[in-house]
Amino acid sequence: MHGIDLRTPVSSQAIFERGRALAEETPPETHDRDPISPRRPGVVEFIEQSNAGRLDSLIPLRIGRMMASPFAFFRGAAGLMGADLADTPVSGLAAQLCGDAHAANFGLFGTSDGQIIMDVNDFDETVPGPWEWDLTRLSASLVLAGREGGVSEKRCRKAAEDAVKSYRRTVRKLAEVPFMTSWNALPDTSVIEKVKADALLDDFEKAAAKARRNTSAKIVARRTTEFEDDDGGRRLRFSENPPIRTHLDEASAEAVIDGLESYVATLPASHRGLLARYTVADVAFRVVGTGSVGRRAYIALLHGNDDEALVLQLKEACPSALAPFVDHHAADHEGRRVVEGQQLVQAETDILLGWTTIGDRPFIVRQFRNMKGDIDPTALSGGHLDDYGRLAGALLARAHTRSIDPRLLAGYFAGDSYMDEAVGRFAVRYADRTEADHEQLVTAVRNGRLPAEAED
């Protein structure tokens, strides 16, 4: 029965009042707090702990990427912020979290019918947890991104505050519309207009135009070479670009193909027959991300109808960095955790999103760069960063209200006039803390305590 009661009527006002009562217990202004927790490990200790299970040869590259800037460090340190947030006051409402909702984890991608939408787009750390954690991480990241881009401190803080304000306003709007309307709304360019982020329209259109060109065919054109197989036929394979893209030995490649064949069973029945029409032409190892560097990730080139090509990515799924800090049972399969979390949070997910096991390691499988794009928050001017904060706050609110009744959250925000400023102040202090953490990392590398490798 799954604990669902479809018999007892409950008024919207009653649900709203339950949220209001939670605000009395944990007032929104309590989010203005100390940015660090006694539970947090030292920076070097955190890096060493988070390197566990990664490929040793790629650890210096990971650290090198995190050294690039305080924002880059922040992107690879979701677990460190999780420790800092673990003992902070929360409302008691749990959402399916992105888990790493920083400003660069909102991107563009294509829907099944070719529309370009924008949404949260990274779910390695997704778990059920306090909605406040995603929102405070987003706000702190806007300050860091703005500082990297040379935006004034006043504008950085305003972007952080406006992300919270937009989150609150979007929740209230979603609480007032039919459930099906709020659930099925796609985050296309209309969202930009609704949150009064019109200055971003040009940025969105430029990113969307680039995303439309970001297809498997483009990857094949730029990242593959043709060769003659044993039967004299012409075939394609990925070109090498060490250490970012390298080929596997035969046994490893066969294991990846085995994983792809078993992954098909995790797709909806309506999509399994689609994958059965393709054949694998090549498999390669590919380095990904900032926080993900050192995890195992592969790309597979599949041949379809005549010259059609499809590129899939297989990415190792590890326990969420937030798992130690939430009331969360260990997942039976970490790939399944990521996939089901993404399907719950996103407005529309990749039709080929699924999971598998390679050897004894869990993986997620998805299309690689299927009309994907982004707006770089570190390249935005002050006014555009503010607009970006409002857009990201609205997208995060829509994502959270797929797992929290928006009427509850709307009740929590009723009469609130303090939360925007409270989270804004916290975001600035946490950005300061992150800059100090980043400096500790740089010092540890200079002193030889940690290895680092710069990219060419």
Sites in the chain below the pLDDT cut of 70: 1-2, 232-233, 456
What is the reported pLDDT for 209?
Answer: 93
**3-state secondary structure (DSSP) of residue 81:** helix
DSSP 136-164: HHHHHHHHHHHHHTT--HHHHHHHHHHHH
CA nearest neighbour of 363 among 321, 331, 333: 333
Give CA–CA dist 121/443, Å, rounded. Answer: 32
Q: What pLDDT sits at residue 1?
A: 41
Tell me the torsion sign for CA atoms 391, 188, 134, 399: positive
Helix runs in 97-198, H state only: 131-148, 153-174, 179-184, 189-194
pLDDT of residue 2: 61
Q: Is there a contact between 65 and 94 (Cβ–Cβ < 8 Å)? A: no
Q: What is the pLDDT of residue 361?
A: 97
Please give the full DSSP string across 295-313, using - where no structure is assigned.
S-EEEEEEE-STT-EEEEE
Contacts of 453 (CB under 8 A, 6+ apart): 60, 61, 63, 64
Buried b (16+ CB within 10 A) or exposed e, 114-135: eebbbbbbbbbbbbbbbbbbbb
What integer pLDDT is reported at residue 312 of this predicted model? 97
- Summarised one tens digit per residue, pLDDT across range 185-209 is 878 888 888 888 888 889 999 999 9
Domain chopping of the chain, boundaries: 12-210+381-446, 215-367
Residue-wise pLDDT for 335-356, tens only, equals 999 999 999 999 999 999 999 9
